[in-house]
Amino acid sequence: MADDLGTILDEILSIKKSLREIPADAFEQRIELRERLLGRQAAAATVAHETTTDSALCRYLEQLERRRDALLGRRIDRSWQDGGGGGMGIPAEQTEAFNRRIDEAADLPALELEIARIRARLTTDGKD
């Protein structure tokens, strides 16, 4: 039977404690513990991925979409370009440059990639 996440996390904590307690020059033992740690971390990631419920993914997706929408709401409105708003508009190049910087500062591309990844997983699971 596969380990549950709690058991795996307990093992990870135990391994980390062992790594702190062994002498710095115990190289062989450190290598063995680090390899074991990597294996248990991979197992924890697998179990966490497999046990993530679709409803939890949907809630997470909704949070990401709200964050993205809030970010997009901070952009400079294009209606202010070149004379919009009473002839005192912002040049189009500046508006686009400001919006690019806003997107980059908030890492919008990574956010949109995460949204797409979750949608793809939900669709692949047949839950969308």
Which tens digits make up the pLDDT trace of 68-97? 999 888 888 877 666 555 556 678 888 889
Task: DSSP for the chain, please give it.
Answer: -PPPHHHHHHHHHHHHHHHHHS-TT-HHHHHHHHHHHHHHHHHHHHHHHHH--HHHHHHHHHHHHHHHHHHHHTSPPGGGBTTTTTS-PBPHHHHHHHHHHHHHHTTHHHHHHHHHHHHHHHHHTT--
pTM score over 0.75: no
- Per-residue pLDDT tens digits for 95-107: 889 889 988 888 8
